[in-house]
Amino acid sequence: MLPLIKQEIVEKKKVLTDEEFIEGLSVAQSLPGAIAINTACFVGRKVRGIAGTLVSVLGASLPSFLIILFIASFFLQYRHLEVVQNFFRGATPAIVALIIGAVVDIGKSALDDWGDLIIAFILFFITLFFNLHPLWIVLIGGMLGVLRRK
């Protein structure tokens, strides 16, 4: 959902700049909950205050909720069918590709120079090899950003 939110808010409507969107995304990632919902909340608040927050959170969560509810009602009945199992086996790589695409798109905006890219790779490898909680990764990244920009 993040690339869609970014496309609408930054590129089409021009409500936020690229930098404001990345800052909001950073805050959204550090808070508990779904990143897309937190980002929608941030954008809604920025655009229309409390009413914008409520509408944006409903707009970001209600369609997904209804679609999943609809799919789940059929999935429980037909999950044993081979065609359904094969569909989900094929959908999994597509979902991974979409996530990678979103990371690359947002990474282009967020990583301004080689220093940012190096920090991102270091934090990625720390995440892989040391199994740190994501909160610690965000805090370490934030501290490195402060130290780097002094």
Q: How confident is the model at residue 26 (pLDDT cuts 50, 70, 90)?
A: confident
Q: DSSP of 30-65, one letter per residue?
A: HSSS-HHHHHHHHHHHHHHHHHHHHHHHHHHHHHHH
Arithmetic mean of pLDDT over the chain: 86
* Structural domain boundaries in the chain: 2-110, 111-150
For the chain, give the percent of residues with pLDDT over 70.
100
- Which positions ≥6 away from 111 have C-beta within 8 Å? 117, 120
Q: What is the mean pLDDT of residues 37-61?
A: 89
The predicted structure's pLDDT at residue 66: 94
Distances from the Cα of 35 to the Cα of 2, 29, 57, 84, 91, angstroms: 8, 6, 11, 29, 22
Q: Label residue 31 left, alpha or beta by phi (over 0 means left) and psi (-120 to 50 means alpha).
A: beta
Residue type at 27 in one-letter notation = V
Using DSSP's 3-state secondary structure scheme, residue 52 falls into helix
Taking only the tens place, the pLDDT of each residue in 88-144 is 899 999 999 988 888 888 788 777 788 888 888 899 999 889 988 888 898 898 898
And the tokens for 20? 């404001």
Q: Does 1 score more than 80 pLDDT?
A: no
Structure confidence at residue 8 (pLDDT) = 83
**Is 150 a residue whose pLDDT tops 80?**
no
